Amino acid sequence: QRLESAPFICIAAINGWCMGGGLELALACHLRYAQAGDYLIGLLEVQLHLLPGAGGTQRLGRVVGQARALEMLLLGTCVCPEDAERIGLVHSLVNDVQLHSDTVATLLASRPPHLLQHVVRLHADAQQLAWSEGMERERGAFSAILRDEETLQRLAEFNSGTVRVPE
C-alpha cells in the first residue's frame, strides 16, 4: 500500500517470470510495462494451495475486470506477456522494457510532482466515489492547479507558441 500511495509514480518493468508476490508488487505500481519474451505472469498461489496475500485479490479485479480476475485467481492462471497486454494486466508490451520505462520516467519527472499526485488520487477516487463527489474533487484540484505559478507560466508559454504539445 505504501508503494501504491507513494508521492511519486511507480513503474513496473517486467522482463521475466512475474509470479505471486512479484505480480502483486507490480499491481501496486501505477504503470506496468512488459517486454516480449518466453515467460509467464500470474498469481499461481491457488495451485500451491495458497492465496495471494499482498493485495492480489484486491488489485487484480481493478486491473483486468472482476470476472476475469476471479477466474484467474480460482484457477491460478498465468499468461504470457502478449496476453497480459491483451487483457490489460500490463499497459503495453515493448521491445526494451528498461529503455521504455526509463523514457516514461524521464517524461514524468519533467512534470510537477503535485500535478501527478492529483491525477493519481483523482483516478483512484473515480474507482471508489460517487460521480458527483469525484467531480467535486476534480473541480477543486483543477482550481488549485490553475492558480499554481508553474501552471500559469506553462500556459503562457503555450499561448505564445514557445511550448508545443506533441500530436
* pLDDT tens digit sequence for 100-126: 999 999 999 988 888 888 888 888 888
Positions of the chain with pLDDT lower than 50, given as ranges: none
Catalytic (active site) residue 4? no
- What is the DSSP code (8-state) at residue 147? T
**pTM of the predicted structure, to 2 decimals:** 0.82
Catalytic-residue membership of 136:
no
Q: How far is CA 33 from CA 56, 61, 74, 103, 134, in A?
A: 18, 18, 25, 12, 28
DSSP three-state, residue 117: helix
Tell me, what's the pLDDT at 167?
53
Nine cell digits for residue 93: 508490451
Q: Which one from 4, 24, 133, 150 is the annotated catalytic residue?
A: 24
